[in-house]
Structure 1
């Protein structure tokens, strides 16, 4: 089993490998919880896993489809490497994923409330997370993968070295608000990740999503009277 997992994950690099391993771990944990050896699974077991993702975990169709794709890929490699004769995931029905996402980003006032909730949070990582995502426009894996060593200066401007999809590296200038948020999260540390979870380890995308949901609950409790709007802008 260990060889099968290693052979599958060996096809990926960087953040893609990390995310793929995370999705595969969910399936392997589900198998362990149900007393099922992954290499003894049949099609109905994979169907049960998909229903568990949908009905118990209540994931969106896109998430279910992504995690099923990882399982399909894992078993395909098992067949290629002659570990299995047939893949139990070959004929599993995939959930229908809308061509266009129905999810809308936060409006102007909503984002103002979110950034206010993050700024006033007792957890300094909240403000840095929202600043990196909302003000700097990073993807969640780019924000979580950023290190203190990636901070620097170019032509008198503070910059962050960001590793994007495909391993592409770009230098992103830091607006003052983002730089302040990062400095607050980093504190006196000189190495390690910029964003940390509650256990003082690197924040992953799952922990980041939980923090954003926590902040969303906090900013939902802010009333419209807490926002002062003047001219063309609003401030908390």
Structure 2
């Protein structure tokens, strides 16, 4: 996500709107808080330029803001997220009795297609990337293996620690903190466990993946590492590969390998199966229609 240096943070406003924004953001964490902070800042900046009081804005103002987003060429998913951030902000303000209504409530929102934005990787590309990571370094191999085989979000990998690794019923497992602060224990497949053991050696404390100085590797370093690996092994992805592409590949390739939608949903930590279903690249395959199975079941009842 690109950040504009021209847009101040909403909490830079020390007035009632800025204090409300700061309180609202405290109710979120991680990437959600970061994204909402930027979305509110963008809206606050728009209001300031037009002389609109944030706390007394009405639907006509939000409709105008939505029209401005469209004029700027914002993607439908971006518009939906920004309006969602604003709706949450105003609902929070109503709870705190600082605004009298939510002006976003009935604003028309664009429909977002069924396909996820990232492109993912084919099985061949995933194998090439794993091999490139192995050649590069033990740390690179850990990063790629966990993102690809376990479907971790980059924030989950950055936040994982060595003590989060353990054993459960004969399986190597990793406890990760999902969106919303929910904790989930997930299986680390043997291939990933072997890579981790070689990387960690005798280390038993600290962040799971570290820099040369022992600090946790951050999302920007992981992004740069993946681009470097792609430049070496997948040049057609050298300028586009993103950490989420590996999570996408984990989902799509698992489904193609025969894993059930529910199991992949659990692996990725999706609350709604419809989110997981968007990763099923074969869902539009007409050969998979239940009508075929039903026709076979009823074949003997054909009266002809």
Task: Identify the residue that residue 65 of structure 2 maps to in structure 1.
Answer: 46
What is the TM-score normalised by the length of structure 2? 0.53
* 2:76 equivalent to 1:61: yes
Query: How far does residue 177 in structure 1 lie from its aligned partner after superposition?
Result: 4.0
- Listed as ranges, the matches of 1:23-34 within 5 Å are 23-30=35-42
1:5 to 10, 21, 44: 21
Contact 2:21 2:89 in 1 (8 A): yes
The CA distance in 2 between the partners of 1:218 and 1:92, in whole Å, is 47
Q: TM-score, normalised by structure 1?
A: 0.65
CA contact (8 A) 1:8 1:74 kept: yes
Number of residues of Structure 1 aligned to a counterpart in Structure 2 = 211
Counterpart residue number, 1:126: 140
How do 1:123-202 residues align onto structure 2 when only pairs under 5 Å count? 125-154=139-168, 158-164=172-178, 167-181=182-196, 183-184=198-199, 190-196=204-210, 200-202=215-217
Instruction: Tell me which moved more, 174-183 or 68-77.
Output: 174-183
| Alpha-carbon shift at residue 107 of structure 1 (Å) | 1.3
Distance 1:198 1:64 in 2: 39
Cα distance in 1 between the residues matched to 2:44 and 2:143:
34
Q: Is the 8 A contact 1:118 1:126 kept in 2?
A: yes
**Secondary structure of the corresponding residue to residue 97 of structure 1:** coil
Q: Deviations over 1:113-158 (max 9, x none)?
A: 2112323336x54322211121233344433332122022446654
| CA–CA distance in structure 2, aligned partners of residues 96 and 85 of structure 1 | 28
Q: Post-superposition shift, 1:105?
A: 3.0
The runs of 5 or more residues in structure 2 that have no matched partner are 1-16, 237-304
Spell out the pairing of 1:34-113 with structure 2 (5 A cutoff).
Answer: 36=48, 39=55, 42-43=61-62, 46-47=65-66, 50-51=69-70, 55=73, 60-101=75-116, 104-113=119-128
Q: Could you tell me how far 1:21 is from its partner in structure 2?
A: 0.9
The Cα shift of 1:47 comes to: 2.5
C-alpha distance in 1 between matches for 2:212 and 2:41:
23
Does the Cα contact within 8 Å between 2:80 and 2:110 map onto a contact in 1?
yes
TM-aligned CA deviation for residue 191 of structure 1: 3.3
Rg: which structure is higher?
2
Match in the other structure for 2:8: none
Structure 2 residue matching 1:82: 3-state secondary structure: coil
1:192 is paired with a residue whose SS is: coil
Q: Is the 8 A contact 1:162 1:172 kept in 2?
A: no
Cα drift, residue 70 of structure 1: 1.9
**Per the alignment, do residues 152 and 61 of structure 1 end up closer, same or farther by CA in structure 2, a change over 3 Å counting?**
same
